[in-house]
A and B are shown apart, each in its own frame.
Chain A
Amino acid sequence: MFGYTKRPLLLIAWKNLKTYPVRIFLTTSSIILGVSVIIAANIFSESNKNAFDNLFSGVFEGIDLVVQPVQEDFAQGFGDDGGQGPISFELKKISDKKINEIKSIDGVKDAWGDVIGFAQFIKFGPRKDCHSFNPECNRETILIQNGFAPTFGAAWDTSPYATQWELIDGNPPTNKQEVVMDSTTAEGNGFLVGDRVTVLAGAIPASFTIVGIAEFANTGSPGGASFALFDFNTAQILLDSVGEVDFINVVVDENADINIVRNAISNIDNQGLEVINAQEAAAEQADSIKQGLDFFNTILNVFAGIAIFVGAFIIQNTFRILLLQRTKELSLLRALGTSKRQVYRLVVSESLYMAIIGSGLGVALGIGLSIVVKEGLKYFDFGLPEGPLVLTPNAAITGIIIGVVVTILSSLLPARKASQVSPLEAIRDSQSTPKRRSLFIRLLIGSLVSLIGLTILFGVLYSFFRTPSLTVLQQVGLGASIIFIGISVITPSITKPFVTIFDKLYKSFFGILGKLATENSKRTPRRTASTASALMIGLTLISLANVLTTSFKAQAEKVVKEVVLADYQVSAAQIFASPGIPTGLSQELIELDEVTDLSRTRATVVGYNNRPLILGAVDKAVFDLIKTDDIAGSREDFYSKDAIGVLKFKAESDDIALNDKVTLTIPEVGKKEFVVRYIFDWTTQPPAEFFLLLDNHEFFSNESLDTELYFNVVTKDEATKNKLDDIIDHYPGVTLRDQDALIDEANSQIQLLLNVIYGFLSISIFVALFGITNTLSLSVYERTREIGLMRAIGTLRKQIRNMVFIESSIISIFGAILGTGLGIFFAWSLIQALEDQGFTEFVVSTQQTIIWIGIAIFAGIIAAIIPAIRASRQNILEAISYE
């Protein structure tokens, strides 16, 4: 009996796929890559969210209520680690006597105070710039920090209900010589129980014995932060909380009503204390961190979008190739009575199978990719919380749906074209000659779209056209995107003229092979263009990033050179980790004969119009050490007791004029009125908005930490530098820099960012490679006859291969030059748009540009290897036989 197939087309589609696994691989490769990036992005952000959820529920585990001091209104939003960083300000604390009061309340099972503040472990090791085998090697202090995570000191909780920290080795700290270290830091730096360690807390480093190593909520430490845990009294002394605590944890009796207890605690001091529900607070804090992560997620999704977008080009090309190769088979189906519609459905259902397989593999690869990213970040000590990788069903389904939809949409056009095949095609032995449709309409539409984009872009730059409700940058971005679409539409129409420019060059370089290759790429301008477009996207973004960073570097250099007039600047090494510069340093420096002018800067947070504001303090010399433009008033007036200086931008935004009165709420002093005596401008974004003369105000001059120091020396030479280094080496966490070092530092930060961006964009180039491979395979297939003929009349295999390589180089040069050109143009536009914010430098690195175009061409040639080999191995007889 013959089988009857109810759905013959689906069966044929499936059998086709099973017969040609390579075909599936070629088509699905770009789907796989695109989907995998989406999945990896999602896993990554979900896992982090999950880890933060666990972390925050861990922070408050077993705790019912948290008692906090009510902060000044303006201090809201600075978090509870206000003591962090060089801008320190006084957070209110709770008297530790309140702990016993709370304990005595009915329904309270236990209550204990917590002290938390800045503390950092220090180890001693060889300088980074010196090899360990060198016995003369200078040893220096190394501040221990896990990636960018903060460094904390806290009190070891002795209450039996405190379960956040758990000792995995050793004992709790009991006196002021003992410390417990978090296990992440201990493992990362090789510390064991019994070791001595130096801890920097407040202004002076001190030595401790590690008596225990502890784990936080079953992970090494919260968010990778380092923790030095002291006994309660030591913590109070070291962390500037004598007789005080930062907050009080409360555990409520099972039988008691939590709300009644909460009210009872509030009643102790309605004005000064605030009682919050611990579990609600955990959820709230986790949420706010998750919002921050969403930004990261968005960036990952943008890269995924680029990968998918490039992928769509390639899927479409690949389908065309595959269908062209099967013209005979399809036309045979047509001759046998299959309708156009059925052929269409056959092709689309093949693409459906491929889409499902590709998306499925994409999900698998995405999981792998996320593991790689996670391990990679770990390798670079990028402290993200530990936790399992989480793939939500939603993410998997979204990834698969995007993959399937994009694949099917990309297959529709080729499928339609395939269904148009004539049934006679099977019998006829014709050379496929693509119909030439006019590219003029394309040029027209593309030009029109580009023109709209240009109008939007230049409209904002030369202020003749503004789109409502968009910022300057947004409008530039919108214009650039529209131009990009316009250029993509135009590319097929400009393929021929573009390649023609290279005709002569290629002919003189490669002779007849060059001529053949250029002609071949002109033959199917649409295909050449769409292949080049895939590469164009990648190179646009790369050269955009490239030019922006070189320009930013130039900008940084210019600003530093122009603005920092001082010979040297001293700052805290890690701006978010260190407490600042102990004031002893500035004293020592001033006493040096070599040091001439010196200015300290300090900062604190005050209230102004019920909002927090950073108030800076400087010495008189600062105006000669940092380039200052006088706007109104005079420096002499600023030196008077009641005077305050205002930066130009603040004066403009808040409408502050000379001699206006300004009232600030200063934590140490209370409300105080100042008169605006001086309005000035600094080119850099300064850390503060209002300034006082440091020595005029005790709450500033009594501080123990400076934010930065600027000073000049008599002669800037090696001897002076050594003398300065000797002094500064005694202050861990403090760095001395001159102009060049400041420039270097700015540049290395910019470069780091650029490298991350390059990493992501490389994926799009990788996807584009598959596109080139596919297109060239198609070109080679279409020219079976020609290649056979050339071989017959004596063309060597090597020459055929070279011809394909040359053609590939044309496609990649086309894509690379278009992309680079667009990228440079977009970068220029962005910098123009940023002019208001002081960006003036536009620098294109010729070297970098050439390197990237070179990489693109090289990539194109790599992509051509398979088609070239295939072309050179083609059977001559098959190509020239007719019977």
Chain B
Amino acid sequence: MEKIIEAKNLTKIYGEDGTSVTALNQVNLDFYENKFTAIMGQSGSGKSTLLHCLAGLDKVTSGSIIVKGLDLGKLNDKELTKIRRDSFGFVFQAFNLIPTLTAEENITLPSSIAGRKPDEEWINQIVNAVDIGDRLNHRPNELSGGQQQRVAAARAMATKPEVIFADEPSGNLDSKSSKELLTFMKSVVTELNQTIVMVTHDPYAASFAERVIMLKDGEVANDMEEPTQEEIISKVTSLSDI
């Protein structure tokens, strides 16, 4: 398997000297192609910060993130933005879609802003996979929460990115929609050869992943391959007990 992201000695400190908070402390992690990785941890564990740094949304205080041989820390805003546009896809917890655009326009938004023609065939394939073909001309406020998140997932994949970053994608969904979305995400990795890095605090969501990384107080506490939901829950419990 090929390494797609390489994080070395990541440290992120918020605030000034007196009131500083260390969100990430000397984190070393590698992420691999065609793999569904979940990052877990409680509030304040640094999991969201890690995702933001990996995705080029936030700058690290020290350490480096290498994506396709490029060090994200050394790029300027324009270069970072282009990497996000062309190499990354994003699914957030909520407010994923531009309310004035239709589902279809939202899906093709990253190609539109890049000024490229979207790959019709590929998009048809995704749209069928997320089962929103009949809602393409609707605006986000006419879609259910589950549908909205599936549109967001479709958008994240539309440009065939190197990595899709998902931040609590199922956090606002009921259990049925949640299962549908996560099943779809898993199938994207196994069937469409995509790479997903997902942040979640929910063991059920994490159980869809092939690899689960647990963070505690800004440090990697656990790194598991193919864990079951039970294993995840017990690890989570043991981590919060200490």
Asked whether, in the complex, the Cβ of A796 is within 8 Å of the Cβ of B78, the reply is: yes
- Which of B54-103 touch A at CB < 8 Å? 55, 57-58, 77-78, 81-82, 84-86, 88-90, 92-96, 98-101
B108: nearest residue on chain A (CB-CB)? Answer: A512
Cβ-defined partner of B81 (8 Å) among A512, A785, A794: A794
Nearest-neighbor residue (CB-CB) of A511 within chain B: B112
Asked if A427 is at the interface of the complex by the 8 Å CB criterion, the answer is no
Closest partner residue, chain A, to B58 (CB atom): A877
Contact A516/B90 with A792-B84, A794-B113, A876-B57 known, Cβ cut-off 8 Å:
no
Residues of B near A877 (CB, < 8 A) are: 52, 57-58
Known: A792-B84, A794-B81, A796-B81. A512 touches B113 (CB 8 A): yes
Quick check: is A845 within 8 A (CB to CB) of the other chain?
no
Nearest Cβ distance between residue B16 and chain A, in whole angstroms?
A: 17
Per-position binary interface string of chain A over residues 504-524, scored 1 when its CB falls under 8 Å from any chain B CB and 0 otherwise: 000000011101100110110
**Which residue of B90, B94, B98 contacts A786 across the interface (Cβ within 8 Å)?**
B98
Which of B43, B89, B95, B168 contacts A785, CB < 8 Å?
B95
A520 with B100, Cβ < 8 A, contacts A512-B109, A799-B113, A881-B48 known:
yes
List the B side residues contacting A881 at CB < 8 Å. Answer: 48
Report the minimal beta-carbon distance from A230 to chain B, rounded to whole angstroms: 81
| CB-CB under 8 A for A792 and B57, given A516-B101, A797-B81 | yes
> How far does the Cβ of B143 sit from chain A's closest Cβ, in whole Å?
16
Within 8 A of B (CB), among A415-443: 431
When distances are taken between beta carbons in the complex, the residues of chain A under 8 Å from B96 are 789
By a CB distance below 8 angstroms, the chain B residues around A431 are 95
Residue from the set B48, B82, B90, B98 with the largest chain A CB neighbour count within 10 Å: B98
Chain B residues within 8 Å of A515, by CB: 100-101, 105
What is the distance, in angstroms, from A418's C-beta to the closest C-beta of chain B?
24
Contact of A795 among B55, B86, B93, B113 (CB under 8 A): B113
Q: B192 at the A/B interface (Cβ < 8 Å)?
A: no
- B130-177 residues with Cβ-Cβ distance < 8 A to A are 155, 167-168
- Chain A residue at minimum C-beta to C-beta distance from B100: A519
In angstroms, Cα B52 to Cα A880, docked, is 10
> Quick one: given A795-B81, A796-B78, are A519 and B58 in contact (CB under 8 Å)?
no
Return chain B residues, CB-CB under 8 Å to A796.
78, 81-82, 113
B77 near A797 with CB under 8 A, answer yes
Measured CB to CB, the closest approach of chain A to B158, in angstroms, equals: 10
Measured in the bound complex, the distance between the Cα atoms of B94 and A123 in whole Å is 83
User: Contact between B78 and A797 (Cβ–Cβ < 8 Å)?
Assistant: yes
A512 to B58, CA, bound (A): 26
A518 to chain B: closest residue by CB: B100
Q: Which residues of chain B have C-beta atoms less than 8 A from A792's C-beta?
A: 55, 57, 84, 90, 92
Q: B98: nearest residue on chain A (CB-CB)?
A: A786
Q: Which residue of A lies closest to B114 (CB)?
A: A794
Interface check B18, CB cutoff 8 A: no
Is A789 in contact with B98, judged by CB distance below 8 angstroms? yes
How far does the alpha carbon of A786 sit from the alpha carbon of B106 in the complex, in Å? 12
- Nearest chain B residue, comparing its CB with the CB of A872: B77
CA distance A512 to B111 in the complex (A): 10
Quote the shortest CB–CB distance from A377 to chain B (angstroms): 52
Write the nearest CB–CB distance from A781 to chain B, whole angstroms.
15
Question: Quick check: is B115 within 8 A (CB to CB) of the other chain?
Answer: yes
Closest to B86 in A: A794
Which residues from chain B contact A511 at a C-beta distance below 8 Å?
A: 112, 115
- In the complex, residue of chain A having the shortest beta-carbon distance to the beta carbon of B97: A789
Q: How far is the CA of A513 from the CA of B93 in the complex (A)?
A: 25
The residue of chain A having its C-beta at the shortest distance from the C-beta of B96 within the complex is A789
- Chain A contacts with B in 795-833, Cβ cutoff 8 A: 795-797, 799
Cβ A523 vs Cβ B100 within 8 A: yes
Most chain A CB within a 10 A radius of its CB, from B78, B84, B113: B113
A791 nearest CB neighbor, chain B only:
B81
**For residue B112, which residues in chain A have a CB less than 8 angstroms away from its CB?**
511-512
Cα-based distance from A877 to B78 in the complex (angstroms) = 16
Asked if B84 contacts A794 (CB within 8 A), the reply is yes
> Which A856-883 residues sit within 8 Å CB-CB of chain B?
876-877, 880-883
- Give the contacting residue for A794; candidates B82, B92, B95; CB below 8 A: B82
Q: Mark A237-281, 1 if CB is under 8 A from B, else 0.
A: 000000000000000000000000000000000000000000000
The distance in angstroms between the C-alpha atoms of A882 and B52, with both chains bound, is 13
A-B contact pairs, 22 of them (CB 8 A): A511-B112, A511-B115, A512-B101, A512-B109, A516-B98, A786-B99, A790-B113, A792-B84, A793-B84, A793-B90, A793-B110, A793-B113, A794-B86, A794-B88, A795-B81, A795-B113, A796-B81, A797-B78, A876-B57, A877-B57, A882-B93, A882-B94
Closest 5 CB pairs of A and B: A794-B85, A519-B100, A512-B112, A794-B84, A795-B113
